């Protein structure tokens, strides 16, 4: 097992379906809330401290061996929007396929059997990291980074935003990402001792309602 497996798992080209999702950016662009690199940064920062923290903690907890079904139920309870639950399961199913090909493990096989329609993506991400021999913090980094890199690349396509500006946003968020990962791992360790109720539940109301709005469109570029 190698730490470099983290680079494979975190690679934007890892074939697990992420390219078709905007992480809420398409709805925020259409609502006029993302119009520039600065507003993209605000969006990503808010998403990082809410959905990103929760995803990071779920992934880290999965690496620590917390039962996947309990984590999946905790993810459901932390995702009021049915459109977001659906997107998370679709992405989880796609990630399960890619992870089984890359790091075959009995736990991933069991997950694929238990959740044929997909478990929540951060839970699968954690199990993939576990199968790859990675640490809880590695999985949390992966989950938290994805939650900002997805909207950033989507906004490049949606607004024809300068890709250097969009990537600059990600670089500026890096120190905050470190802090979110620390909080996520700490919460995951508590969850391993006390149960999934100890996981963070931070939410962004506009991420949830925006996802419902987006799901009702007949014409859109991204699946979520």
Partner 1 sequence: MDGVTAAGVRASSRIVARADGRGGTALPVLDGEGPLALRRTRASGGEAKVMVVGAMSGPLGGDRFTLAARVEEGARLHVGSAAATLALPGQTKHEARYDVRLDVADGGELHWLPEQLISAHGSELQVATRAELGAGARLVLREEQVLGRAGEVPGRLTSRLTVRVAGRCVLDQELACGPGAPGGWDGPAVLAGHRAVGQLLVARPEFAERPPIARMLGECAALMPLAGPAVLVSAVAPDALLLRGLLDEALALLGP
Partner 2 sequence: MHLDHHRHGPAAVSADAHRPDGSHRALRIGLGGPVGSGKTATVAALCRELRAELSLAVVTNDIYTREDAEFLLREAVLPPERITAVETGACPHTAIRDDISANLEAVEDLEDTVGPLDLILVESGGDNLTATFSKGLVDAQIFVIDVAGGDDIPRKGGPGVTMADLLVVNKTDLAPHVGSDLARMAADAKAQRSELPVILQSLRGGSGVADVAAWVRERLAAWTA
Q: Which residues 6+ apart lie within 8 Å of 82 measured at CB?
A: 212
98-137 footprint of partner 2 as x/- string (CB under 8 A): x-xx-------x--xx--x---------------------
Report residue 156 CA to chain centroid gap.
19
Cβ proximity to partner 2: between 119 and 173 the closer is: 119
| CB 73 to partner 1: min, Å | 7
In whole angstroms, give the CA distance from residue 64 to residue 59.
Answer: 9
Residue from 9, 17, 161, 200 touching partner 2 (CB under 8 A): that is 17
DSSP string, 19-69: GG--TTHHHHHHTTS--SHHHHHHHHHHHIIIIIHHHHHHHHHHHTT--HH
Report residue 146 CA to chain centroid gap.
5
| Tokens of residue 124, six digits | 């699968």
Footprint of partner 1 on this chain (CB under 8 A)? Answer: 24, 28, 31, 33-34, 39, 42-51, 53, 73-74, 76-83, 85, 176, 196-197, 200-209, 212-213, 215-216
| CB 176 to partner 2: min, Å | 26
Cβ proximity to partner 2: between 8 and 112 the closer is: 112
Question: Are the beta carbons of 59 and 185 closer than 8 angstroms?
Answer: no
Residues lying near partner 2 in the complex (CB under 8 A) are found at 13, 15-22, 90, 93-98, 100-101, 109, 112-113, 116, 154, 157, 217-223
């Amino acid at each position: 097992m190698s730490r470099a497996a983290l680079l494979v798992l975190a690679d934007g080209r890892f074939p697990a379906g992420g390219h078709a999702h905007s992480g809420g950016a398409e709805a925020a662009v259409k609502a006029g809330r993302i119009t520039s690199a600065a507003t993209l940064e605000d969006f990503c920062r808010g998403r990082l401290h809410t959905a990103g923290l929760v995803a990071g903690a779920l992934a880290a907890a999965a690496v620590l061996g917390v039962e996947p079904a309990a984590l999946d139920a905790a993810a459901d309870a932390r995702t009021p929007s049915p459109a977001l639950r659906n997107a998370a399961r679709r992405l989880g199913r796609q990630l399960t396929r890619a992870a089984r090909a890359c790091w075959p493990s009995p736990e991933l096989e069991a997950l694929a059997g238990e959740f044929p329609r997909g478990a929540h993506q951060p839970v699968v991400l954690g199990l993939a990291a576990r199968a790859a021999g990675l640490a809880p913090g590695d999985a949390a980094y992966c989950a938290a980074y994805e939650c900002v890199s997805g909207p950033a690349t989507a906004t490049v396509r949606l607004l024809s935003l300068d890709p250097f500006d969009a990537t600059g946003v990600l670089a500026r968020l890096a120190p905050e990402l470190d802090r979110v990962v620390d909080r996520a791992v700490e919460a995951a360790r508590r969850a391993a001792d006390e149960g999934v109720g100890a996981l963070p539940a931070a939410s962004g109301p506009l991420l949830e309602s925006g996802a419902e709005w987006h799901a009702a469109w007949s014409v859109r570029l991204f699946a979520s």
